[in-house]
Structure 1
Amino acid sequence: MTTVIVQLPDPRPPAPSDRRFARLSRPPRSAPPTRPALLHLGPGDTAAFGRGEPGRPPAVPIPDPGVSRRAGEITAAEDYWRLSNFSATATYVVENLEGAGEHVKVAPGRLGAPVPFEISRVLLPAHGEPVAFKVFAPQHAYLTGESAAADGEHTVSPFALDPTAKYFLVLLALCEPRLRSPSAAAVPGATEVVERLRDLPACRDLSRSAVNYHIDYLVGSKLRLRDPVERADPGGKREELVALALRFDLVREEHLALLPPRRGG
């Protein structure tokens, strides 16, 4: 049974010093594109990647002088996979190709680091640009609905947010920069939120004081953060609100469709 598929990296183009050879060896324009080579792994199977040792080619060849001969190894599990980094100096990065910049770092010498992404790209430092290959894990299984106990009280949702409410749009506008770019540092202020939402019919009468009211409502009643309502620094309050919402996926990428198109783009 196949659980993990590795898309082998494309051969690297010739170095700049080999440009004449590159012109001679370039395929004709009419040549059809080649399909990527795939490596199928079942539970417990492993695949080494790197430049390879004499007489021992790796399952995932990466012929770059900046990559170790035995750079690492992939191990397939049931619905995820593990990455081992055999390098003593290089850190590898695994990107989630379905996320907004979500990634994990695998430090030098780390063995069996679990990767939870369904569609991933592994980036390795190389002699020129980083080299990469993709790994596809099966679609993860999720429980449909909460498993109900035979008796007792029902579980109350700790974060009951209504995506159709105006306070949710305010929270979404606060979280938008980091949803689009997790490295974004600044959280929008009340004036920026008003400007961002004013093209929505439900928010045409939104003011700075109304935005601050919705923020206080989110902090004190909906998400129940500790003590920030009394905090003098409104920027710190917004920062904690955004951090909590993104940490627990209360606001996600698909919610960005609720916002009007950004002006000028």
Structure 2
Amino acid sequence: MYSIIVVPPPTTEDEPNRRQIRLAPGERLTFGRSAHDNDLHITHDGVSRRAGEITAHGAFWILSNLSREQTYVVENPEGAGEHVKVAPGRLDAPIPFEFSRIVLPAAGDLLTLQVWAPRHDYLSGTGGLDGSTTAPAFSLDRSKRYFAVLAALCEPRLRGTPHAPVPTVDQVADRLRAAWPAASRTSVQWNIDYLAVKLRLKPGPESADPGPRLNGKKESLVSLALRFDLVREDDLAVLAAPPGRVAR
């Protein structure tokens, strides 16, 4: 079963469809300027004769940078700026992204290879273990207004601007008003404070210790939510829900 698909850079500006190279687990693909020493020939004078090697492994892949001088960058096009740098000479760097873009610096140009890892492996069943199920790390109800507030805080970065400033409380209230007409600065701030406790950034009301003052509360919430995929791009639909769709 193929697990990795490599889409080479176009050979012409008008090339409508690029061929795909499929790799099964354990198979390797070498790429570079030399037509004789590589599986994928990249015709650019700025690319090393033997530039790199991709190896398929089940549900992920590894990249070896065979260049002596150039650092390669592997970008996650869906990850709001997430990337991995592979230094010159680095072998077998694991790449965790389902969709990846290898960026090759080439004498003033930036060439790209797309690599897809569509295979997903999951546990089947519980394995017969007895006892209670594991409690979820973060318990969020996507029908509640606090989740809509969290989605609004995360929206700019989920829309593809990784370093966008976190929206102000007033901006969040304005963004939510179509789905929640009564949204106000006070109600949004209450939900932000509640999220800080719910996501364990602050101690709960049952604790006698109020904990240290949390500076940058909104930034901390966004960072945590995006790091652990508590809010995804699909969840932004709650911001456009008609009145009454988001529970009180």
Band the TM-score falls in, shorter-chain normalisation? 0.7 to 0.9
> Normalization by structure 1: what TM-score?
0.78
Higher helix share: 1
- Structure 2 stretches lacking a partner, 5+ long: 204-209, 242-248
Structure 1 184/52 Cα, relative in aligned 2: closer, same or farther at 3 Å? same
Secondary structure at the aligned position of 1:173 is classed as helix
Partner of 2:30: 48
Give 1:109-188 correspondences, 5 Å limit.
Answer: 109-143=89-123, 149-151=129-131, 153-188=132-167
Q: Is 2:173 aligned against 1:194? A: yes
Output the aligned Cα RMSD: 2.6
Matched-pair contact (CA < 8 Å) for 2:33–2:50: yes
Partners of 1:165 and 1:245 lie apart in 2 by 16
Task: Look up the match of 2:62.
Answer: 82
Q: How does 1:1-265 map to 2 (within 5 A)?
A: 1-12=1-12, 35-52=17-34, 56-143=36-123, 149-151=129-131, 153-200=132-179, 203-220=180-197, 222-226=198-202, 231=213, 233=215, 236-260=216-240
Q: Which moved more, 1:82-91 or 1:252-261?
A: 252-261
Query: Helix, strand or coil: the match of 1:125?
Result: strand
Provide, for residues 9-43 of structure 1, a one-character-per-residue CA deviation record: whole Å limited to 9, x for no partner: 22256xxxxxxxxxxxx9xxxxxx66423333232
Q: How many residues align?
A: 235
8 Å contact 1:83–1:112 — kept in the other structure?
yes
Q: How many angstroms apart in 2 are the aligned matches of 1:40 and 1:232?
A: 49
Gaps spanning 5+ residues in structure 1: where? 14-25, 27-32
Give the Cα–Cα distance (whole angstroms) in 2 for the partners of residues 232 and 59 of structure 1.
54
Q: Report how far residue 129 of structure 1 moved.
A: 2.9
Give distance in 2, aligned partners of 1:230 and 1:136: 44
Greater Rg, structure 1 or structure 2? 1
Look up the SS of the partner of 1:140 in the other structure: coil
SS of the equivalent of 1:181 reads: coil
Q: Deviations over 1:203-239 (max 9, x none)?
A: 211111111111111111x111146976274xx1111
**Is the contact between residue 4 and residue 80 of structure 1 (CA under 8 Å) also seen in structure 2?**
yes
Flag the 1:230–1:195 CA change in 2: closer, same or farther, 3 A: farther
CA positional deviation for 1:146: 5.7
AA partner of residue 4 (structure 1): I
Q: Distance in 2 between matches of 1:147 and 1:214?
A: 39
Distance 2:72 2:110 in 1: 10
Question: How far apart are the structure 2 equivalents of 1:205 and 1:198?
Answer: 7
Aligned sequence identity (%): 51
CA 1:44/1:145 → structure 2, altered by over 3 Å: closer, same or farther? closer
CA-to-aligned-CA distance 1:63-93 (integer Å, 9 cap, x gap): 1111111111111212221101112322212
